[in-house]
Structure 1
Amino acid sequence: MKKILIASAALMATASVAAAESGVKFGGYARFGLGYVEDRTGTVENFNTVGGVITSTDTATVDTDNTALISRFRLSIDGFTETDSGVRFEARVRLQADDTPSTGEQQKAGLNGARFSVIYGGLRVDAGNVAGSFDNLDDYFGTEIGLEDFLGQYSGVNYSFLEYTSTGSGANAVFVKYSVGDLSVYGSYDQNTIAVNGGKDSADRWDVGASYTFNDIITASLLYGETDLATGGDESLALFTLGVDMGDFYGTLFLADDDVENDDEDGTAYGFSVAYNVGAATTLELAYGDGSADDDQRFIGVGAIYDLGGGASLRGGVGEIKDGDEDGIIRADLGVRFNF
């Protein structure tokens, strides 16, 4: 379903009996269940000792159980205030604990980098650990399959765009959005160090986009992003999405072209996703993504959500993930998610 900022929903708490325009609110979700990855491998750390004293360490890749316990706890903390003239200021940090995807082992919770926002009318400005234009577009993600949202229509994209980081400090960037009527325009900018062909390079990264909604049903979006590398050259991503939201039915079409340093990942990415409420409590999902480049990933899978009431749901999915010409692997999960 559409990517939802869970943290903006739910419990409200105020630090004191202050004015109604200021306060702190808490919200989030938790999920747990079982996840299956065909031929799952994990990384273990080896300790080399001499006379019982550790002299060095190295890592090794080992086969692990294909089925593992999966989990996530996410709590977003939002502080806000509003001036007499109607300007709203917000700040957010997030506390999150996940399992380790390769082994299923639990990680401890930690706070991420802060995001700061100024909102007035149709204008919103975010600074700090922010999501860029692509990450803010619901129809980029479309319907993601499974309890872990492990499969989506965007699999053929290899460009590294600006993303909100739940477990790290973030890129310390700026995002601006302005909405008037059915039209929204937006853009972001950051200076960052990114991974390129197995190494790292400093870069100026920016993106711009626009979305228009027709009759509250169809949304067309066009986005472009570029990363200018300090060592020369650049990478880019152009994207078009078309989303249809008709209550019980939500569907997206996805078409993109990315230009990255690795020629085997250059090309066209395409996909679609669908979610349909077949009854009062059951939603069926389908997603497919692929690309024309030699090393593009192909995703295809189906999922289901059963509403248990009270903000809780039973969720699961199964699909195939295929990298380039390699054999595909099966991945699946099943578990419970509840909002708070």
Structure 2
Amino acid sequence: MKKVLFATTALIATTGMAAAEVSFGGFGRFGLLYDEGNDSATTDELRIEQRFRLTATGTTTSDNGLEFEGRIRFQTDDQAQGNSNVANNSAAGFAVSTGGFRLDVGHVSDVIDSGDVVDYYGFGVGLTSSIEQSTSFGLPASGFGTSDPGTGIAPTVKLRYTAGDFTVSASITDDSALVTSDTSDTAQAGTRVLEQREEYQIGFGYNFGNYSVGVAFGNEDSDITTQTIDAAGAVTAEVASAGVDNDFYALSFGGEIGAFAFSILIADYDANPDTSYGFSVKYDVGAATEIRFAFADAGDGAADEESYGIGFRHSLGGGVSLRGGVGEIQGDTFADLGVVFNF
């Protein structure tokens, strides 16, 4: 993403000088989207697709060379009903880096989502990249994004170290007791369900020439507490139960051969009856046009567990591209076409 610098502030302290920068960047997209799975009384199969994303990033460097970063995001999207939501915002994410070390804290990507060692998404197809090599996979892969106001975001801590062609990365996400369901209010008794979840991931990656290979392992574990609430809002009873205890892994291999690029993904987790796998490819037809194809088998035991699609990207220059694709997402026909512009 090409970023445009909006403001630069020089901070002068005693005999040293540290430069602090605030930059804004993002993208916009709009077009048409068809999703057979959205055919209902309240949603539309064919609708206008739109997204606007603005990310504000502040960076500075201390006198001893440590680089500090903080960022927040604002975003508005179309909805299944065909209208657009009012822009949501994100929780803050922070980072400190020096040499080959980088520490991310707060609302940040975990190992799998970050792409530090594993290419989880591959070459997405279409305007929205809704068809990827990991479409409908059930692995936890959470990253930096927006949510509704008032939503609690569990903090993640991720540490990455790169030495030459080798990278190691580890992350942990530790939720406080999040309310996942609440049928009570001040006038009516009900129940409240709280979930305590912890997740860790660790991965290793290696680049050799035009190729790269990576693997990530992890576990997610949760405990659930169901509370009975009276009309006055007091807790009258609590029942504890086991949530999930999933071990998982993801393995990827990819590379480039001239105008052709590919990515292969294998993934598995305890709750899935079969191993998930997928692949995606990209071929540069010319300097401005590329063709993409993606396939994913979720292996989740569903009648239609496969997703696949083919699409294109054509650069119009200046960070603007025309994109489109068509395919199937677990039995439902999907297609989109439109324009993306980066700024």
Q: Secondary structure at the match of 2:146?
A: coil
Counterpart amino acid of 1:294?
A: G
Tell me which residue corresponds to 1:183.
166
Q: Secondary structure at the match of 2:19?
A: coil
Tell me which residue corresponds to 2:335.
332
Tell me which residue corresponds to 2:87.
109
Counterpart amino acid of 1:303?
A: G
CA gap of 1:183–1:39, structure 2 versus 1, over 3 A, is closer
Tell me which residue corresponds to 1:54.
none
Query: Structure 1 residue 282 and structure 2 residue 275: aligned?
Result: no
CA gap of 1:211–1:195, structure 2 versus 1, over 3 A, is farther
TM-score between both structures, scaled by the size of structure 2: 0.82
Q: Find the aligned partners of 2:100 and 2:261 in 1 and give their Cα distance.
A: 25
Q: Find the aligned partners of 1:220 and 1:109 in 2 and give their Cα distance.
A: 38
Per mean C-alpha deviation after superposition, the further-off stretch among 88-97 and 295-304 is 295-304
Tell me which residue corresponds to 2:230.
none
Q: Are 2:299 and 2:305, in contact at CA under 8 Å, matched by a contact in 1?
A: no
Tell me which residue corresponds to 1:291.
298
Q: Are 2:74 and 2:90, in contact at CA under 8 Å, matched by a contact in 1?
A: yes
Tell me which residue corresponds to 2:27.
29
After TM superposition, where is structure 1 displaced by more than 4 Å over at least 4 residues in a row? 17-20, 193-196
Tell me which residue corresponds to 1:81.
60
Counterpart amino acid of 1:330?
A: T
- Aligned with residue 98 of structure 1, among 55, 61, 77: 77
Larger radius of gyration: 2
- Aligned with residue 36 of structure 2, among 13, 38, 49: 38
Tell me which residue corresponds to 2:323.
315
Query: Structure 1 residue 306 and structure 2 residue 306: aligned?
Result: no
Task: Give the CA deviation at 1:243.
Answer: 1.1
Task: Give the CA deviation at 1:157.
Answer: 2.0
Q: Secondary structure at the match of 1:148?
A: coil
Q: Are 2:88 and 2:146, in contact at CA under 8 Å, matched by a contact in 1?
A: no
CA gap of 1:21–1:15, structure 2 versus 1, over 3 A, is closer
Q: Are 1:30 and 1:72, in contact at CA under 8 Å, matched by a contact in 2?
A: yes
Counterpart amino acid of 1:206?
A: Y
Q: Secondary structure at the match of 2:137?
A: coil
Tell me which residue corresponds to 2:253.
242
Q: Find the aligned partners of 1:164 and 1:157 in 2 and give their Cα distance.
A: 19
Q: Are 2:92 and 2:106, in contact at CA under 8 Å, matched by a contact in 1?
A: yes
Task: Give the CA deviation at 1:239.
Answer: 1.0
Structure 2 unaligned residues grouped into runs of 5+: 12-16, 182-192, 224-240
Q: Find the aligned partners of 1:11 and 1:150 in 2 and give their Cα distance.
A: 27
Tell me which residue corresponds to 1:120.
98
Tell me which residue corresponds to 1:146.
126
| CA RMSD in angstroms, aligned pairs only | 2.1
Q: Find the aligned partners of 1:285 and 1:294 in 2 and give their Cα distance.
A: 27
CA gap of 1:162–1:64, structure 2 versus 1, over 3 A, is closer
Query: Structure 1 residue 205 and structure 2 residue 199: aligned?
Result: yes
Task: Give the CA deviation at 1:124.
Answer: 0.5
Q: Find the aligned partners of 1:331 and 1:159 in 2 and give their Cα distance.
A: 23
Tell me which residue corresponds to 2:237.
none
Task: Give the CA deviation at 1:66.
Answer: 1.9
Task: Report Cα offsets for 1:147-205 as digits up to 9, x if no partner.
Answer: 11111111352133333223355321111111000001001101125979xx7631111
Percent identity (aligned) = 35
Q: Find the aligned partners of 2:288 and 2:260 in 1 and give their Cα distance.
A: 14
Q: Find the aligned partners of 2:85 and 2:199 in 1 and give their Cα distance.
A: 31
CA gap of 1:225–1:248, structure 2 versus 1, over 3 A, is same
Query: Structure 1 residue 252 and structure 2 residue 263: aligned?
Result: yes
CA gap of 1:194–1:185, structure 2 versus 1, over 3 A, is farther
Task: Give the CA deviation at 1:17.
Answer: 4.9
Task: Report Cα offsets for 1:50-106 as digits up to 9, x if no partner.
Answer: xxxxxxxxxxxx154321101000011000110122100000000111111x22210
Structure 1 segment 12-23 matched on structure 2, within 5 A: 12-18=5-11, 21-23=19-21
Query: Structure 1 residue 229 and structure 2 residue 222: aligned?
Result: yes
Q: Are 2:10 and 2:20, in contact at CA under 8 Å, matched by a contact in 1?
A: no
TM-score between both structures, scaled by the size of structure 1: 0.83
Q: Secondary structure at the match of 1:162?
A: coil
Tell me which residue corresponds to 1:273.
280
Counterpart amino acid of 1:338?
A: F
Q: Report the number of matched residues.
A: 301
Task: Report Cα offsets for 1:287-331 as digits up to 9, x if no partner.
Answer: 000033313732110010010001000000101112xxxxx1111
Tell me which residue corresponds to 1:174.
157
